[in-house]
Amino acid sequence: MGNSQIYLPSPSQKSDISLEEAIARRRSVRDFALESISQSQLSQILWATQGISDTGEKLRTVPSAGPTYPLEIFVVCGGNGIEAIEGGIYHYNIDSHSLTRHYAGDVRPALAKAALGEESIYQAPLDIVICAVYERTVTRYDARGERYIHMEVGHAGQNIYLQATALGLATVAIGAFSDEQVREVLRLDKQYKPLYIMPVGRPASILSR
Ligand SMILES: Cc1cc2nc3c(=O)[nH]c(=O)nc-3n(C[C@H](O)[C@H](O)[C@H](O)COP(=O)(O)O)c2cc1C
């Protein structure tokens, strides 16, 4: 892990659109504009993915069986992907709502290659990679814990979809990739299993309208 820690701006709980509009407008988008994301937009997306919503009990925006919190979130970005953040791989520190650099350099092309060449992964300014540490939940719930983890990643993914939509951004949930290759590209320990890659950016089609 690198040393540089980036504290993100506090997330907002106000939006220009209603929850119902976000649900109605949510769509998978695979074509992104070459436009960077602000740190406050990233803050909002990460908070929706796994941030703390109850600081007293440290409960999160996404439900979790137990709660055993098996999910770990990584951000992969290009050089100009996120305002004032260098290209690289970052780990989301949930308690401090900050990022720690895990690797310097743009790995989006390699990540796309690990996902059957999915272009949106290197076209989007950033990719959120949701991983799980199975032990945390399986130790408590045995084999049924696996089912719970897969349910939980769906909750997190849907929150990314809805938060992105509310910000005028978009995403697509990508499940088709080689676990082993993604783990290699992200320099992840064996205990981290990647479950979703979600490119996030401004939809290209809105700009061309
Ligand atoms: C579990 C899961 C895995 C998915 N994997 C991929 C994928 O690997 N590549 C992709 O382009 N879309 C993927 N999708 C997105 C679906 O293709 C998309 O949700 C579907 O076409 C319906 O479109 P909508 O999301 O705009 O309603 C996945 C969706 C889910 C729920």
Say what the pLDDT of residue 4 is. 74
The 10s digit of each residue's pLDDT in 33-56 is 999 999 999 999 999 999 999 999
Check pLDDT > 80 for residue 208.
no
- pLDDT mean across residues, the chain: 95
E-assigned strands of 9-120? 52-54, 59-60, 71-77, 88-93, 98-104
Spatial separation of the C-alpha atoms in residues 173 and 160, rounded to whole Å = 9
Check pLDDT > 60 for residue 16.
yes
Residue 197 Cα to ligand 1 midpoint, Å, equals 11
Percentage of the residues of the chain whose pLDDT score is greater than 90: 95
Residue 96 Cα to ligand 1 midpoint, Å, equals 31
* Nearest CA among 39, 34, 26 for reference residue 75: 39
Task: Choose the residue to mutate in 23, 28, 29 for probing ligand 1, maximizing ligand atoms within 8 Å of C-beta.
Answer: 28
* Nearest CA among 34, 51, 42 for reference residue 9: 42
The 10s digit of each residue's pLDDT in 129-169 is 999 999 999 999 999 999 999 999 999 999 999 999 999 99
Say what the pLDDT of residue 34 is. 93
Average pLDDT over residues 6-19: 96
Say what the pLDDT of residue 201 is. 98
Query: What is the pTM (predicted TM-score) of this model?
Result: 0.96
Say what the pLDDT of residue 206 is. 53
- Phi and psi angles of residue 10, each rounded to the nearest 5 degrees, phi first: -65, 140
Residue 29 Cα to ligand 1 midpoint, Å, equals 9
Q: Whose CA is nearest to atom 31 of ligand 1?
A: 173
Say what the pLDDT of residue 3 is. 52
The CB of 174 under 6 Å from ligand 1? The reply is yes
Check pLDDT > 50 for residue 2.
no
Say what the pLDDT of residue 1 is. 46
